[in-house]
Chains A and B, each alone.
Chain A
């Protein structure tokens, strides 16, 4: 059959997009009823992929989910010495859902349908939800969890020798990670010391559990931990754009596992087995439009579980043996252009206290967001090496306020450009900067140029480097 978008259906595009945008932006905590729906949906999802039902574990945040999934995958791999299980499961479940939806859709509607409806629906729904959700949640969360686990992996050696016995503070993320790891790996065949560990012990400190399970090698290093180490491991890090309470304890937990050599590596690599839940609402919006609005006569049985999980849960990690599902955040804020944004706190926060920070879509170290504008040092802003972060800090503080606190002279003006000579007392003098207005978004940039620049044009030429070696840099197109 050939489907053509009718005027009646076209009228439903906006409401349908709005419904799924609201789903993506939801901050409702998962309740018992939703968890039960998700448990059943996971069983159906795996069945559609020809897989046995896994154990299903719920955690409060994607951070806890990712670490726990990585640790659990490492334990399962170590135990069974089975290679690439999560990768195979991911491919199987994705292939199954993809086959069930796109193949069915293709068969029923053919290319003509897709062509006829793509512009209207993909643009109106997928683009709208992508803008609203992908930037705000999925991409940001993925980047943050990746950065967090990457940092954790880099620190693994040190963690293994210093942090393994840190005096944990029962931080929610750490406890949740531990609980989820145990829940995802323990069963009757589990013949390690985790046999005696149950979800009930998860509320106990990570240190106690780690100490109970670490092998003799780590017993030796445990004694070396001192008060200074404990202080360092319990302090939160606000120098990054994500804050994960208990991060050090999580790393220590991973390092204490019998599968420690793989645990943190798997936590970094497990992103490959991620499925987006409600943060992938764009796909669900698009496909479910044909199910509920266009009512195309397709077998939706294999798609149904994916759709339910989109509606009732956050990001999940799928593995042959387990599926770890994150709750939705409790806070999710965007600016007028749907970019992640909050200028007084985290734009996104989960119920275990893990947080993400951004200003107008730019990932910003948490301490800059939490510090009032008048208390941010202009010199610190100028020393920020990333120009997008610097731009947003200038926007937060205000260009005039910032320059009013920095002794400076204006050497030259040209249009919206000014060449400045700034004295950083005690650091450097006659530092030359080009102040300019971004023609696309109207924000101010201040970027350093070499001291030999005496005019705005020379500064512009210098910034263009060898691009301007023949003539002045004076682009006919500039945006």
Chain B
């Protein structure tokens, strides 16, 4: 996965910024609720955050899944204090996810905490 880090591929189907994953999907599920901010992940011990520039809507779908929609006709950056920006392509919809890891000391898997 590290062999490709060309952020100019604005039509990318799979996008990753640190622990944040975006996977392009065809359509938004029904009955999504729009959030009133564009931050999709927060760092507990750094104060850092993954936040879209203006133009992207973050949507909560029934069942707990989260989607992001670029509602503009141009690429919109997802920014973070440490990672370089990645972009959501114009008009595209992405499923949002967080990388998971396995904790051998508790023998359980969980989403990565940062």
User: Interface of A with B (CB < 8 Å)?
Assistant: 135, 139-140, 143, 241, 361-364, 382-383, 385-389, 414-417, 424, 427-428, 431-432, 436-441, 447-450, 460, 462-467, 473-479
Contact = CB atoms under 8 A, between A and B. Distances in A.
Interface hub of B48, B87, B105, B112 (most chain A Cβ within 10 A): B105
Interface string B6-46: 11010011111111010100000000000000000001111
Contact of B104 (A362, A388, A424, A478): A424
A479 B83 contact: yes
A448 B102 contact: yes
Contacts of A241: 45
Interface string B64-108: 000000000000000001111111000000010101111111010
20 contacts: A363-B45, A387-B112, A388-B43, A388-B44, A416-B2, A428-B104, A440-B83, A449-B102, A467-B95, A473-B14, A474-B1, A475-B16, A476-B12, A476-B14, A477-B4, A477-B7, A477-B17, A477-B86, A477-B87, A479-B84
B7 to A, nearest CB: 5
A386 B45 contact: yes
Given A427-B105, A440-B18, A448-B102, A477 B5 contact: yes
Given A386-B113, A478-B5, A447 B45 contact: no
Contacts of A135: 47
Contacts of B18: 438, 440, 479
Given A424-B104, A463-B101, A475 B14 contact: yes
B108 to A, nearest CB: 10
A416 B112 CA distance: 20
B105 to A, nearest CB: 5
B102 to A, nearest CB: 4
Given A427-B104, A450-B109, A476-B13, 11 more contacts: A135-B47, A386-B44, A440-B82, A447-B99, A463-B99, A466-B97, A467-B14, A475-B1, A475-B12, A475-B15, A476-B9
B101 A387 contact: yes
A418 to B, nearest CB: 11
Which applies to chain B's interface (DSSP): helix, strand, loop or mixed? Answer: loop
Contact of B97 (A416, A440, A449, A467): A467
How many B residues are at the interface, by size bracket? Answer: 35 or more
A425 to B, nearest CB: 13
Interface of B: 1-7, 9, 12-19, 21, 23, 43-48, 81-87, 95, 97, 99-105, 107, 109, 112-114
Contacts of A448: 101-104
Contacts of A362: 45-46
- Listed residue (B19, B101, B113) with the most chain A CB atoms within 10 angstroms of its CB: B101
Contacts of A447: 99, 101, 112
Contacts of A427: 104-105
A50 B21 CA distance: 51
B75 to A, nearest CB: 11
A441 B114 contact: no
Main secondary structure of the interface of A (DSSP, over half): mixed
Contacts of A441: 82-83
B95 A437 contact: no
Q: Which of B5, B17, B19, B45 has the most CB of A within 10 A?
A: B45
B3 A479 contact: no
Given A441-B82, A448-B104, A467-B95, A478 B4 contact: yes
B26 to A, nearest CB: 12
Given A417-B2, A476-B6, A143 B102 contact: no
Contacts of A382: 104-105
- What 7 pairs across the A-B complex have the smallest Cβ distances? A476-B12, A448-B102, A479-B84, A475-B14, A431-B104, A363-B45, A475-B16
A473 B1 contact: yes
Contacts of A474: 1, 4, 14
A479 B1 contact: no
Contact of B114 (A386, A440, A464, A479): A386
A436 B2 CA distance: 9
Contacts of B86: 477-479
A440 B4 contact: no
A74 B7 CA distance: 53
B13 A479 contact: no
A358 to B, nearest CB: 8
Contact of B17 (A416, A450, A479): A479
A389 B12 contact: no
A475 B99 CA distance: 13
B45 A389 contact: yes
A464 B45 contact: no
B14 A415 contact: no
A477 B82 contact: no
Contacts of A479: 5, 7, 16-18, 83-86
A383 B82 CA distance: 24
A478 B1 contact: yes
A388 B14 contact: no
A450 B46 CA distance: 27
Nearest to B13: A476
A363 B17 CA distance: 21
